[in-house]
Structure 1
Amino acid sequence: MSLDPAFLDELRARTPIAALIGRRVKLARSGRNWKGCCPFHGEKTPSFYVYDDHFHCFGCGAHGDAISFVMQMEGKSFPEAVESLAGEAALEVPKASPRAREEAARARSLGDVLEATQRIWSRDLYEPTGRAGLDYLRGRGLTAETIAAFGLGWATDRRGALVDALRPLGITSDAMAEAGLMRLDEDGRPKGELFWGRVTFPIRDRRGDLVSFGGRILGDGQPKYLNGPETALFSKRRLLFGLDRARAAIRAPRPKGAASVEAVVVEGYMDVIALHQAGFTGAVAPLGTALTSEQLEVLWQVAPAPILCFDGDAAGRRAAIRAAETAMPLLSAERGLRFCVLPDGEDPDSLIRNRGREAVVAMFAGASPLSEMLFELLAEGTPANATPEQRAALRARLIETAAKIPDKGLASEYRATLLDRFFATYRGRRGGAGLSGNRRKGDRGGSWNGRDPGLVDIPPPPAGAGGPSGVDARLGMLAVIAMRHPELISGVEDAWCRLDLPPDQAELREALLDYASSGDLSGQGGVGDGALEERVLSALASRGLRERAEALIRNSCLPRPGATFGDGLTDVAPEVRWWHFYASVNRQRFEAEIAQDTQSWIDGGLDPIVWDRLKSRLEAQASLRVLEDGSF
């Protein structure tokens, strides 16, 4: 059975070999790899190792990839094993045909053309005609060993030189064009060599087979870097420069106590080569394109959380955003990303030469998780003193971005992490310890029009009752409960800040949010804890708000534990009580939010963390319905 090598590569890429073998063999982590007892011979001490793309038994010598494992384990033929794995990977197996066999043979012959070209260009680098290229590489600090290891070469600037050199080997211009070495005219006929007057970089697939070339021109010519075109062997979207060497380095056994090799994505050929020469042998680079989903899939087969390294300029930030957007729909609990940003004006190559290897070690060690980089990228342009509209827009972007992750549990964690950072940044303390310090008045207040757009009609208090209006009184209850239970503020802050409050209550809310964000919540007591209440009131006094707070407490008539509210709400958890009053002035939105969050909890697999955030609101909802039914 002759199949397109590209199809087989895609099949292997979509088949996590550890998961496949783990169905039959009990595997345990061994560094970056897995080990277990060999299924092909009886053993009690594990000597069977599973790597990112193959297995090997050091006892019996069994060796192979996902396809050969199925063949050996299940006794299937090659076509049967391919058909079985393709079905699991949702791939359609190309039909075997004379044409497919011809294409496979042609691919082998194209490889021969490229290898012959590589030998010529490697030789010419050390000829007088290649002196400029050799001087350039040495000037970039590359050693003779590195130049040889990466197979760097020189395509002479004499037009037709490669055609003349390959002709005695029986290689025609048509074969060169198929291999990506010739330009084509409008009719598809070869019309001239693609690479000339350039330093050449062999591009190899993950197995190390030569599939194309890249070239760098010397001087001011354009384009500065040039890659070969798409061919039967070469797909830019699926390959990474240096991947064959990086994979070998990452999966190689390490001495006990030695640091692991990090998978690092940088921008270009020279960055990869310089990093490898400096000992960072997990470096790879895209091939003239933004990082693609196919390249990310390949990366995750090599490492669970590779580092993406970007320039610190505007172009680097745009590239980071594109990479993050590409990655979000592909993330899972086992597949993440880290980011690092280069100092201004530096690339990895120049950083090594100018600041030394230790600077690169520190940079990679400080790589940020994707969640942190996402927040920084999405929050760019939103100032620390952002308006409510700006904060709302940013919050919506954060939630929308987290929702792109298909794994519901992971999406929930990202949403929580991004919003935690949002609240810490835009709701946190800004002006000294505790409640002291200068703050902008009404920062979270906004204009007061008596009610939020989602308010239900609340009847006014009985004639002669005095005190604030029904709506104002219930809004004030939110502040009173928060004063007596500041530990619950972080859980209700988002909802509380969506309410338009009277100016006096808005300023008090601002102060209480600051108090909660100060982190000094130790020793909190329950309702009726006079020491706690005095502590909060003392903090409010530093902002001149104590008298206002005491007036709210007096007007609220909040009962002590065990007492009953006038409306039938008995002694319940403080967060339930808070949500009860929130819903009484914001009912429509409250019901909509509960419905949405309940569905998210169900879709997310009944996550207990989500449930903890939801259950107090459900209890408040139930209490309101009891009151409405008159059944208390």
Structure 2
Amino acid sequence: MSLSPQWLDELRARTTLSTLIGKTIKVQKAGREYKACCPFHNEKTPSFTINDEKGFYHCFGCGAHGDAIRWMTDQRGLPFLDAVKELAAAAGMEVPAPDPRAAKRAEKARSLHDVTAAAQGWFEAQLAGQEGTQATAYLARRGISDATRRSFGLGYAPDSRGRLKAALHEFPEDMLVESGMLIQPEDGNRDSYDRFRGRLMIPIRDQRGRVIAFGGRILGPGEPKYLNSPETPLFDKGRTLYNLDKAAPAARKAGRLIVVEGYMDVIMMAQAGICETVAPLGTALTEAQIEKLWTMVETPLLCFDGDAAGQRAALRAAHRALPLLRPGHSLAFATLPAGQDPDDLIRSAGTRALEDVLSGAIPLVELIWRHEHEALPLDTPEARAGFKQRLAELCRTISDGDIRALYSRMFKERYDALFFAPRQTPSFGGQPARRPARDQRGGRWTPPPPPPTDEARAIGASGSDAMLLRAVIAGLLRFPEEILIHREALASLTLTDERLARLLDRLIEASDIQETVETERLLTILGDSEVYNMAKGLLRADALQFTFTRAETDRQRAQRDLAEAIAVIVAMPRIDAELAAVTRAMADQLDEAGFARQQSLRKLKADLAARVAELAQPPEE
């Protein structure tokens, strides 16, 4: 039996080392790694580390070092082949059957790296030569510097059917075909020819930095705009991420990993200093690619175009991620302005504008909610029921029970807050029809109490309502990009505190003028000194112990909690108004349905109050 290096690399990649070792010894998360007391020597203080991203363990005490296979042979005492078979069974891989030709094939596969490396060197030389002038002109128009060109190894494939084939004549023709460099016509009667012709060549590397494939961008008219290498023994498109070899170390330093749509997005962002960026290879993000992202960061950030195609790609990624979700691991989504890619935005508004887009990323749960909420009009009971059903069906795809329950709860709370309004008897083209209520004291019919007034629906200026309102406004000052997102809900509020009402109105006006604005800039455009001083006071308020009112807090959690607080503050006066109406109606006519509704409203109000109390808890030490 001969196991190729590529097969063994795949086996290691499919094995989560911390999970494997955790079956034998107790491991603890320590930043991006795991730690434990070394099983190879006696110690009381952990010096044994496990790095899932790099796929190895290391003990700083005794020097023990190895990968998943080494763990099985050294710690478990298994023979090499037995270790491989056990790992392969757990990873769902089939161990290659014994084959006398396997060694020869493995040697050929190793040599394929030599083919792609030689092709890469030749493409770079052509770009630097006279025939590369069209490609260099294109790079100049895109603003790609020589340093960036060299860093990414960009090259040029001349518009010829046989130049590359001739240049790589030292390699057997079948290897050039197998590596994807040549195309062999299916009829077998014609000669093979160069796959890439007249294109800017972009090498695709594996995580170890070895060239395994290419992407070619056409420079003149023609289709396709981008042409990728075919699937080869070296290149599995669904498991490869462009620029992963460079982005992985940058992501560890930056604490984030960004996924964009294509090669040039990655290249331009890296040139702007945002190096922790990768891209799928012309397809929607796959499950294998999502899992690979999670080995580097717990919440990768997807930044796609704001057009329909970009949003479809984001939604497909979200749906594929749902069944894979596990505690601490998810996706976040940032949307570029319609018609702009990262390069356009950087050129027109600078890197800061792109960072503003990235900082405004929303969590996966929010993306799902917004898409389903905006998918169809929700102006009939049937449409609202369909909306609720779609959310429930998406929740059912989540494998993790805790996450599934939390998604369901969040969707239910937001659904109730969105559609929970004072009940009125339906009308048919005129004023609402009022059902007369029997006067239990006199036995005659009397009209019901009048509907709640605007004042009854207003948010009071004292008590917990006022505290939450002040906290929400402080949160909006700290995260101004959220104003536009929740503008409609905020505009529906009626505040009895005139100063708070005036401040909220100014914030909404500011969001209309400028969609993305920083806190300090927002303060300067608020207007008169009273509003400005009130805003500054809210930013300094120590009593407002919410995640979204504290300077040092997790940004994504703060934005998520702020959205929930806004939903509560919109729902609470509606519940109060209906509860008052139900209570008044029961004074005239006691009935079981009215009592049940009253109790339901009181419970909902208590649940909302409890959630506010949870949001106001101080951070854990």
TM over 0.5: yes
Residue number in structure 2 paired with 1:219: 220
Residue number in structure 2 paired with 1:268: 262
For 2:408 and 2:42, the matched residues in 1 are separated by 48
For 1:391 and 1:32, the matched residues in 2 are separated by 43
Residue number in structure 1 paired with 2:548: none
Partner SS state of residue 353, structure 2: helix
Q: For residue 288 of structure 1, what is the amino acid of its counterpart? A: G
Q: For residue 309 of structure 1, what is the amino acid of its counterpart? A: C
For 2:373 and 2:258, the matched residues in 1 are separated by 25
CA gap 1:464/1:313 in 2 versus in 1, 3 angstroms: same
Residues 291-316 of structure 1: per-residue CA shift (max 9 Å, x gap): 11111121122221111111111111
Residues 327-384 of structure 1: per-residue CA shift (max 9 Å, x gap): 111112132111110112211222223222222222222211000011111112444x
CA gap 1:123/1:548 in 2 versus in 1, 3 angstroms: closer
Q: Does the Cα contact within 8 Å between 2:421 and 2:578 map onto a contact in 1?
A: no
CA gap 1:261/1:521 in 2 versus in 1, 3 angstroms: same
CA gap 1:442/1:22 in 2 versus in 1, 3 angstroms: farther
CA gap 1:464/1:249 in 2 versus in 1, 3 angstroms: closer
Q: Does the Cα contact within 8 Å between 2:579 and 2:601 map onto a contact in 1?
A: no
1:152 aligned onto 2:154: yes
CA gap 1:398/1:212 in 2 versus in 1, 3 angstroms: same
Residue number in structure 1 paired with 2:485: none
CA gap 1:242/1:504 in 2 versus in 1, 3 angstroms: farther
Q: Indicate the percent of aligned positions where both proteins have the same amino acid.
A: 43
Partner SS state of residue 58, structure 2: strand
Q: For residue 395 of structure 1, what is the amino acid of its counterpart? A: K
Residue number in structure 2 paired with 1:565: none
For 1:575 and 1:16, the matched residues in 2 are separated by 50
Q: For residue 167 of structure 2, what is the amino acid of its counterpart? A: A
Q: For residue 216 of structure 2, what is the amino acid of its counterpart? A: G
For 2:295 and 2:147, the matched residues in 1 are separated by 29
CA gap 1:420/1:220 in 2 versus in 1, 3 angstroms: farther
Residue number in structure 1 paired with 2:379: 386
For 1:265 and 1:44, the matched residues in 2 are separated by 41
CA gap 1:40/1:350 in 2 versus in 1, 3 angstroms: farther
Residue number in structure 2 paired with 1:328: 322
Residues 539-561 of structure 1: per-residue CA shift (max 9 Å, x gap): 99x99998885343232189xxx
Residues 482-521 of structure 1: per-residue CA shift (max 9 Å, x gap): xxxxxxxxxxxxxxxxxxxxx979x96x999x95999999
Q: Tell me the CA shift for residue 43 of structure 1.
A: 4.8
Residue number in structure 2 paired with 1:202: 203
Residue number in structure 2 paired with 1:584: none
Q: Tell me the CA shift for residue 7 of structure 1.
A: 4.1
For 1:373 and 1:55, the matched residues in 2 are separated by 37
Residue number in structure 1 paired with 2:420: 427
For 1:71 and 1:544, the matched residues in 2 are separated by 69
Decide which of 73, 78, 81 is 1:79's aligned counterpart: 81
Q: Does the Cα contact within 8 Å between 1:427 and 1:517 map onto a contact in 2?
A: no
Q: For residue 587 of structure 2, what is the amino acid of its counterpart? A: I
CA gap 1:163/1:423 in 2 versus in 1, 3 angstroms: same
For 1:354 and 1:133, the matched residues in 2 are separated by 24
For 1:57 and 1:304, the matched residues in 2 are separated by 25
Residue number in structure 2 paired with 1:122: 124
Q: Tell me the CA shift for residue 145 of structure 1.
A: 2.8
1:398 aligned onto 2:385: no
1:110 aligned onto 2:100: no
Q: For residue 307 of structure 1, what is the amino acid of its counterpart? A: L
Residue number in structure 1 paired with 2:68: 66
Q: Tell me the CA shift for residue 120 of structure 1.
A: 0.8
Decide which of 339, 344, 367 is 1:345's aligned counterpart: 339
Residue number in structure 1 paired with 2:588: 554
1:372 aligned onto 2:373: no
Residue number in structure 2 paired with 1:294: 288
CA gap 1:337/1:543 in 2 versus in 1, 3 angstroms: closer
Partner SS state of residue 35, structure 1: strand
Partner SS state of residue 265, structure 2: helix
Q: For residue 284 of structure 2, what is the amino acid of its counterpart? A: A
For 2:126 and 2:461, the matched residues in 1 are separated by 68
Q: Tell me the CA shift for residue 263 of structure 1.
A: 1.2
Residues 63-82 of structure 1: per-residue CA shift (max 9 Å, x gap): 33222222222232322221
Q: Does the Cα contact within 8 Å between 1:201 and 1:214 map onto a contact in 2?
A: yes
1:55 aligned onto 2:57: yes
Partner SS state of residue 95, structure 1: coil
Q: Tell me the CA shift for residue 124 of structure 1.
A: 1.7
For 1:548 and 1:36, the matched residues in 2 are separated by 60
Q: Tell me the CA shift for residue 239 of structure 1.
A: 0.8
Partner SS state of residue 339, structure 1: strand
Q: For residue 187 of structure 1, what is the amino acid of its counterpart? A: D
Q: Tell me the CA shift for residue 106 of structure 1.
A: 1.8
TM-score by length of 1: 0.68
Partner SS state of residue 325, structure 1: helix
For 2:137 and 2:400, the matched residues in 1 are separated by 51
Q: Tell me the CA shift for residue 86 of structure 1.
A: 2.2
Equivalent residue pairs, number: 491
Q: Tell me the CA shift for residue 284 of structure 1.
A: 0.8
Partner SS state of residue 362, structure 1: helix
Residue number in structure 1 paired with 2:496: none
Q: For residue 343 of structure 1, what is the amino acid of its counterpart? A: P
Partner SS state of residue 149, structure 1: helix
Residue number in structure 2 paired with 1:412: 405
Q: For residue 423 of structure 1, what is the amino acid of its counterpart? A: D
| C-alpha RMSD of the superposition | 4.3
Q: For residue 277 of structure 1, what is the amino acid of its counterpart? A: Q
Q: Tell me the CA shift for residue 61 of structure 1.
A: 4.2
For 1:518 and 1:328, the matched residues in 2 are separated by 40
For 2:460 and 2:404, the matched residues in 1 are separated by 28
Q: Does the Cα contact within 8 Å between 2:265 and 2:343 map onto a contact in 1?
A: yes
1:280 aligned onto 2:274: yes
Q: Tell me the CA shift for residue 39 of structure 1.
A: 3.3
Residue number in structure 1 paired with 2:174: 174
Q: How does 1:574-613 map to 2 (within 5 A)?
A: 575=599
* Between 303-312 and 270-279, the greater mean CA deviation after superposition: 270-279
Residue number in structure 2 paired with 1:162: 164
**Bigger CA radius of gyration:** 1
Q: Does the Cα contact within 8 Å between 2:165 and 2:182 map onto a contact in 1?
A: no
1:308 aligned onto 2:308: no
CA gap 1:544/1:182 in 2 versus in 1, 3 angstroms: closer
Which consecutive unaligned segments of at least 5 residues does structure 1 have? 255-259, 430-434, 451-460, 469-502, 524-538, 559-568, 580-608, 614-632
